[in-house]
Amino acid sequence: MKIAVISPNASSLKEMGKILSAFTHSATFIEGGKSKMRIVAEQEQPDLMLVEGMCCDPSELAQVEYITTHHPGIAVILLCAIHTPEFLINSMRAGVREVLPSPVTASALEAAVSRIAAKCTGSRGKPQGRILAFMPCKGGSGATFLATNLGYQLAQSKSVLLIDLNLQFGEALSFVHDGEPASTLADVVHDISRLDATFLAASTVKVAPNYSILAAPEDPAQAMEVKPEHIDPILNLAAMQYDFILLDVGRNLDTLTIKALDRADRIFPVLQAGLPYLRNAGKLLAIFKSLGYPSSKVELIINRFEKSGEIGIENMRRSLGAITLHTVPNSYKEVNASINHGDPMIAMARSNAVTKNLAAFALTLSPREEESRGLLGRLFRRA
């Protein structure tokens, strides 16, 4: 477990260092006050933060609440020389795990650290969810259709949350559901201080037993409320609650989109086999390279691909270089019917080539042991 200790008292840091040296945990000691909390959380990313020197002033707890909201994986313990019952209650409301006396005794600190370590060990039993981002290289690429329908396929065996980050024109929910969302991403960020697993789940639309969608704002004006700093707390929490988080991202590479792409384990730009798409895909790849993304993070999806088309796989490789390409076959009539009805392909056309292709794609992302390699190869063509 990684521990960060913050205190304005150098001798206190030294004493706590002696106590913590008996553990095998990694500990960092920072001399300073509560103002250090944010930078320590972002740079050190500890599992446990011990903060000494915060006493009875309720306004000081705003710093703590920021950490527990934006970095829910960090446990916070306060060490206070004097505290009132009201301060204890407000501390718990702010997300503090425990409040210990200051100076702290060896036995009290050891016991508290052991309790947090036990909880961390238990929470690590469930791996963090994988974040997959889908974005169009050009309008009409089919990125939203692929993201929403792949979500349905993954949800056959895993828990899935799709977040519509196409803030101005997002319509991911309508691709697989005919209802209106009671809450949207804008409602979540408006009450970001309330963010927890229950609030997040209640803000989504459950379109299948294991599949939920957090819709984009209905009002373009509300979309302006969603800021880059909201991305981390939402994704941190979602990754603890779901096996897969799919991001339906718009074409604009603004700071919010880049923040989301930074967090993605894999980015899937979607294009079709046409010259304008290839040009835009090349520009995107150049931008991703300038952002420092490794080539293994980006995989292109060629949608509506036809073997007999004018531009084949080899033409694309010559144009785009050495990058992984996936192909999804053309089935315009059935796909269009699926979109117009607001029903997933798996429900409307289970035996369709696109449905089978996406089912196999889901298996490459979340393989099941009982599936044979031969079947996988036949269903999903990986070029």
Contact in structure between 158 and 369 (CB atoms under 8 Å):
no
Instruction: To the nearest 10°, report the CA torsion of 55, 60, 62, 63.
Output: -90
Residue with tokens 């088309």: 309
pLDDT digits (tens, 9 = 90+) for 292-329: 999 899 999 999 999 888 888 888 888 888 888 999 99
List C-alpha distances in Å: 263 to 36, 191, 246. 24, 22, 11
Locate the domains of the chain by residue range.
2-122, 130-365
* CA-angle at 113, arms to 110 and 114, nearest 5°: 85
Residue 371 clears pLDDT 50, i.e. is over it: no
Q: Omega of the bond prior to 103 within 30 degrees of 0, cis?
A: yes
In the predicted model, is pLDDT for residue 369 greater than 80? Answer: no
340 confidence band (pLDDT: 50, 70, 90): very high
Strands 211-214 and 205-208, bridge-based pairing = antiparallel
Question: Which of 101, 61, 109 is closest to 81 using CA atoms?
Answer: 101
pLDDT digits (tens, 9 = 90+) for 162-218: 999 999 889 999 999 988 999 999 999 998 888 888 889 999 999 999 999 999 998
Please report, rounded to a whole number, the percentage of residues in the chain having pLDDT higher than 70. Answer: 93
**pTM given for the model:** 0.69
Q: Which fold has domain 2-122?
A: Rossmann fold (3.40.50)
Burial class (CB within 10 angstroms; exposed 0-12, middle 13-18, buried 19+) of 6: buried
Contact call for residues 1 and 48 (beta carbons, < 8 A): yes
Least confident of 29-33, 57-61, 93-97, 203-207: 57-61
Architecture of domain 130-365: 3-Layer(aba) Sandwich (3.40)
Residue 125 has pLDDT above 60, yes or no: no
Q: How does pLDDT run across 256-271, given as a tens digit for each residue?
A: 999 999 999 999 999 9
Domains 2-122 and 130-365 belong to one CATH topology: yes
